[in-house]
Amino acid sequence: MATRDYESAPVSDQLGLTGIITGLVGDLDDLRAGKISVNDAMARSMIAKQIFNGVRIYLNGTKLLSDNAIPARLSKGESA
């Protein structure tokens, strides 16, 4: 399996983590300004927690698969 190029295509961009973090910052600002309730802020943070749990599972799964991957062999007549 080819090694992932994290410089040109970070997994955080693929999964939209920047938007989630930006949203949490906005929620904290809104909470401090009194625009949302404590219950709303807690609910949003719990949703973000579940998203990050999914990201953790995704990253662990991709690492497991790449660690166990066996390179494919070329058949006769194919070139690299």
pLDDT in tens, 58-75: 999 988 988 888 887 877
In a domain, 57, yes or no: yes
In a domain, 58, yes or no: yes
In a domain, 7, yes or no: no
In a domain, 75, yes or no: no
Structure tokens at 26: 């906005």
Torsion, Cα 49 57 5 48, to 10 degrees, reads -10
In a domain, 79, yes or no: no
Per-residue model confidence (pLDDT) at position 12:
82
Q: What is the pTM of this model?
A: 0.69
In a domain, 1, yes or no: no
Overall size of the chain counted in residues: 80
Contact 41, 25 (CB under 8 A): no
Q: How many domains does the chain have?
A: 1
In a domain, 72, yes or no: no
